[in-house]
A and B are shown apart, each in its own frame.
Chain A
Amino acid sequence: DGGITQSPKYLFRKEGQNVTLSCEQNLNHDAMYWYRQDPGQGLRLIYYSQIVNDFQKGDIAEGYSVSREKKESFPLTVTSAQKNPTAFYLCASRPQGGTDTQYFGPGTRLTVL
């Protein structure tokens, strides 16, 4: 089965804690993305990576960090510096060239207790 997996589906964080959201794809896609979605809002780009060992900030990168050590994996860490982290987080990937369509994972819902 090819696709994008995100884990966990639900995540609860205490204030002051860092948490890491997992995103894995077996589609052999070069580019990967992290978005945040708040109720009634469109998706906002946090970070993206076009190749291994390289990534760029999106529109709302403050309080987040990423790594891209492998083509298949693009984990997102939500740090304690992110003041309002409760949201739905979506990971996506896209092949370089081709149709340019982005393929999305099922999402992780993060709640701060």
Chain B
Amino acid sequence: KQEVTQIPAALSVPEGENLVLNCSFTDSAIYNLQWFRQDPGKGLTSLLLIQSSQREQTSGRLNASLDKSSGRSTLYIAASQPGDSATYLCAVRSSGSEKLVFGKGTKLTVNP
């Protein structure tokens, strides 16, 4: 059974700092991995999707990497801004499955 863990559960940084969010998964037979952002009381917004054959994806100040063999992904946020404050969720779709398995998220606060 696939399990997804995100560390840390919460992170507070000053504006302008570069930061890394971590995601680990137990079964390396994955189809893809997604990073989402969730603002309080809102739905999820997809940030990046990495296919199992890819090592990384980039969008603006965001870079996500994937190491299947070690069961890890990282989300790198460059030059953080107060508007980046949100909960970031990692989700894995295993091979042969239609389902996404989510981590519990990392709550990020960027202080002005």
A residues whose Cβ falls under 8 Å from a Cβ of B: 4, 6, 31, 40-45, 48, 50, 56, 58-59, 88, 90, 92, 99-107, 109
Contacts and interface: CB of A to CB of B under 8 A. Distances in A.
Nearest to B46: A101
Interface string B87-112: 00101010000111111110000000
16 contacts: A31-B98, A42-B102, A43-B100, A43-B102, A45-B100, A48-B98, A59-B99, A88-B41, A100-B31, A100-B32, A100-B51, A100-B93, A103-B46, A104-B44, A106-B42, A107-B42
Residue from the set B42, B43, B98, B102 with the largest chain A CB neighbour count within 10 Å: B43
Given A43-B44, A43-B89, A106-B42, 13 more contacts: A6-B43, A42-B102, A43-B91, A43-B100, A45-B100, A48-B99, A50-B98, A56-B98, A58-B99, A100-B31, A100-B49, A101-B46, A107-B42
A42 B49 contact: no
Interface residues of B, number: 24
Interface of A is mostly: strand
B98 to A, nearest CB: 6
A85 B53 CA distance: 39
A30 to B, nearest CB: 11
B108 to A, nearest CB: 15
